[in-house]
Structure 1
Amino acid sequence: MGPSQAAVRLTWWIARSLLVPALLLNPADAAEPERVSIQTLLSPQATSYQQHLVTLEGGTSALQTIQPIVGSYSLRSKPCLLYGRASFVLEDETGSLPVVVMGSCNPDAPEALPKDGGRVRVTGVVQVLKSEAPRDVRVQATAIQILDSH
């Protein structure tokens, strides 16, 4: 096989490798996370949000920072010292629920945490720990945008 045939085969293999996963992706997966109220996540339909990415807005309270530990925030990343691990309560006009922050390898991560009394937009994964009343639901933050610091 000549060099040009090898190049054509390699190009075809790369194109096929990229095209097949693209065809399998659901267009809804690329959409923005659904904006929901806390009341929605505490309602009987909470289980329909299990492991879904959502966005919530509200005020923060009861911030508790957690000491750094050696760990990994994904299955593919190497273990590192995780900074900025925390939990806080997010409250909107419909209710309140706990938010957990898993941290990152960045030593400056604690500086990005919200302050008590601030207003934030949290995007995260819903975790329904108990589906019957009283429901136990929390959000594991993937992104926190500080809208107003107190």
Structure 2
Amino acid sequence: MDISKMIREEVEMLKKHGWLMHAVPASQYDGVHANYHTHGVFESWSHMDFQITLDMNPIMAHSIIEVAVENVKEGFRYGNNKVYDNILVGMPVMMKVFFECDREVMRIVLPNKKGEIPSRTDGDVFSRQLDDYNFDAV
């Protein structure tokens, strides 16, 4: 895709919706950490942009992030290291502040297959969401 066309499309998305999501699958990094992240949330609603690092279908990641953004647009504010039940129906998610490139983002930590918030000691793909992965190093 032509870079100038891509930039024009992103500018239009930001004008129209106030935010956009970049979808970078784990295959572009280390095979484990994806980088689905927003731009424009801070500028539009004074809330940190969002990030999901669990490798998943980008449409699913967008849907999850969209719910969080809609909550922010309605005035809701997410806090660091807090668990919320207003994003996924019947399942908790944890919000945690991390650095993504040159900025802080609010990472949406998704529950494991048991519906529980993962811990660093679980040793599975869900616990890898808590890694302080350096996306700049790739």
Q: Which has the larger radius of gyration?
A: 1
Task: Decide: shared fold, TM above 0.5.
Answer: no
Q: Which has the higher strand share?
A: 1
- TM-score, length-normalised on structure 1? 0.30
| TM-score between the two structures when normalised by the length of structure 2 | 0.32
